[in-house]
Amino acid sequence: MKKIWILLLPVCLLASSCKKFLEETSPDEIRPSSTEDLYAFMISDAYPYSAPLDLFSDMLTDDVKSYGMPRNTNGTINTTYASFYENGRGVFSFDPLELDGSTGTASTALNAWKNFYSRIKGCNIVIDYAEKVKGTDQAKDALRGQAMVLRGFYYLKLAQLYCLPYNGAGVQPATAMGVPLILSMQVSDEHVGRHTLQATFDQIEKDMVEGAALIKANYTAPTPYRLSEIAAYALLARFYLYRGLDTDMDKVIEYASKVIEARPTLTLMKAYVVSNTSLNPAGIYDQTTSSEVLWQYGFNSKNNASFMPVTGTYTNLHAPYAVSDELRNMYEKGNGTDNKGDLRYALNFQKYFVSGAEFPSRSLKIGLNANAGDKGIRTGEVYITRAEAYARRFKKSAQDADRVAAINDLNTLRLSRYDTRTAAYTPVSFTDADALLKFCTDERRREMSLEEGSRWADIKRLGLSVTHNFIDAEGTSTVFTLAANSPLYALPIPISVISRNNNLVPNPR
């Protein structure tokens, strides 16, 4: 049993629940005692609450723009946001040395590898110990189900950052590098090397499918802060869309349809419009105002002080990085008063002002006064995911029923997002498969802006290039381009991780 103590100690030092979780029975034996205590441990060490996981992937995308360092009225550099500028410089310019933490000031914020594997460790402890604690079989299977879905979720996140896209140009999943699959809590002196991309995705699928079945049979989530079977199905729809095989589109539609049949309601954003000049800033992830939250996790984004300052600190100065013109111009804005058009622009971004001009900054999908985070999965994502799957299937098979189904999903989602107080929503329609698919991916970008690393995942799976115009402290512009299907789609593994594991093959640069 000493081997188990070696593993649990570093985890438990970070979790107060471990005081209850572990019961010392002798100097050499420490064991968990009950499903109740194991559940408490799962909440603190397997679920991702209050844990900063991925803080940087949006900075790699075309959803963010560089403004350089702000200037005082006399032309001198204002250093108020110097730390944000420095933290984002290497990420925004796709610098491998900053992305792996070799140089720069943001190495902690960039170590998503450590963050996700820490949670995977917690999942493995729950899965391994579920059969060893006191409690009913139903309670044990409920624990295992949640931990398995969570483990699959974390491995999918790791793959989206550190692996090439599964269905990418020239990618052979059977030989391409995935991530190390650590599926047991048992301590070993042998460092784990990287499994293949196919093995990684096979394990994610296995965990999520089996975990969803266990949750369905044994657990009713009391709140969207816990995983329900419907949330697990929504995550499976996301997984199959990201894997992206032609045969996966049937599975996307299958799982998304299960979600929509059970939870069809979308939040009507026009309910957030208090008056022509006033909006309720609660956000789409506020469960008191939004009906579409399936699972929610994380901390309030205002506490993410790595790359973008909180709106209230701007004081008529440009932030070093903010929402790109390309993204902001994708929203129809109406006349700005009694018809605000696509309300996602008005409601989903924090805004700041410089010389009276408005600039969208960070996500406002959870209000600044809320304690919860703006991460997870919503019915809105499920609708746009199913729409894209229908569009892809229509492009492949030319079955008109798929075209109609995709358009129906698009219009259902968009109707809930538009200001219809004084003007009716105008439905969209397409006959051409390529035009329909392009609109679906654009709509996904609008719906999922600055949420769940969605844009970075889409850039990779769609094989897109990204061009960043970086403005340095002196105001000089330099263009950096991430080429389509770049090897850098698989981000550098942190140097601190590589240095501890000589079996871990780095990604090419």
Domains of the chain in start order, with CATH, are 1-54+110-219 (1.25.40.390), 224-300+329-463 (1.25.40.390)
Reading phi first (left if > 0) and then psi (alpha if -120 to 50, else beta), residue 506 is in beta
301 and 374 Cβ atoms separated by less than 8 Å: yes
In the chain, the percentage of residues whose pLDDT exceeds 70 is 92
Looking at 159-281, which runs of residues are DSSP E strands?
273-275, 278-279
pLDDT of residue 299: 83
201 and 178 Cβ atoms separated by less than 8 Å: yes
Q: What is the mean pLDDT of residues 147-165?
A: 98
Name the amino acid, one letter, at 426. Answer: T
d(CA 498, CA 201): 22
Tokens found for residue 127: 């899965």
pLDDT of residue 190: 58
pLDDT of residue 313: 60
Overall residue count recorded for the chain in this entry: 509
Q: State the pTM of this model.
A: 0.93
Long-range contacts, stretch 191-200, CB < 8 angstroms, 24+ apart: 191/500, 191/501, 191/502, 191/503, 191/504, 192/501, 192/503, 193/503, 193/504, 193/505, 194/504, 194/505, 197/159, 197/163, 197/164, 197/166, 197/171, 197/173, 198/173, 198/174, 200/155, 200/159, 200/163
| pLDDT digit string, tens, across residues 214-272 | 999 999 999 999 999 999 999 999 999 999 999 999 999 999 999 999 999 999 999 99
| pLDDT digit string, tens, across residues 265-316 | 999 999 999 999 999 999 999 999 999 999 999 888 776 778 888 766 667 8
d(CA 465, CA 62): 9
pLDDT of residue 310: 76
DSSP 34: B
445 and 331 Cβ atoms separated by less than 8 Å: no
Q: What is the mean pLDDT of residues 59-80?
A: 92
How deeply is 400 buried, as exposed, middle or buried, from its count of CB atoms within 10 A (0-12, 13-18, 19+)?
Answer: exposed
pLDDT of residue 311: 63
- Helical H runs in 93-222? 96-99, 112-129, 137-162, 197-218
**Largest pairwise CA distance in the chain:** 73
Tokens found for residue 250: 């049937």
CA 250 to chain centre: 23
d(CA 405, CA 257): 11
DSSP 502: T
Coil, strand or helix at 294: strand
CA 469 to chain centre: 25
The residues, ordered by sequence, that sit 6+ positions from 253 with a Cβ below 8 Å of its Cβ are 386, 389, 390, 393
d(CA 494, CA 244): 27
Residue 354's pLDDT band (boundaries 50, 70, 90)? confident
Residue 2's pLDDT band (boundaries 50, 70, 90)? very low
pLDDT of residue 31: 66
pLDDT of residue 7: 39
When mean pLDDT is compared across 6-20, 77-91, 108-122, 196-210, the lowest value belongs to 6-20
pLDDT of residue 421: 95
Q: What is the mean pLDDT of residues 172-192?
A: 86
The residues, ordered by sequence, that sit 6+ positions from 303 with a Cβ below 8 Å of its Cβ are none
Coil, strand or helix at 322: strand
| pLDDT digit string, tens, across residues 421-449 | 999 999 999 999 999 999 999 999 999 99
pLDDT of residue 399: 97
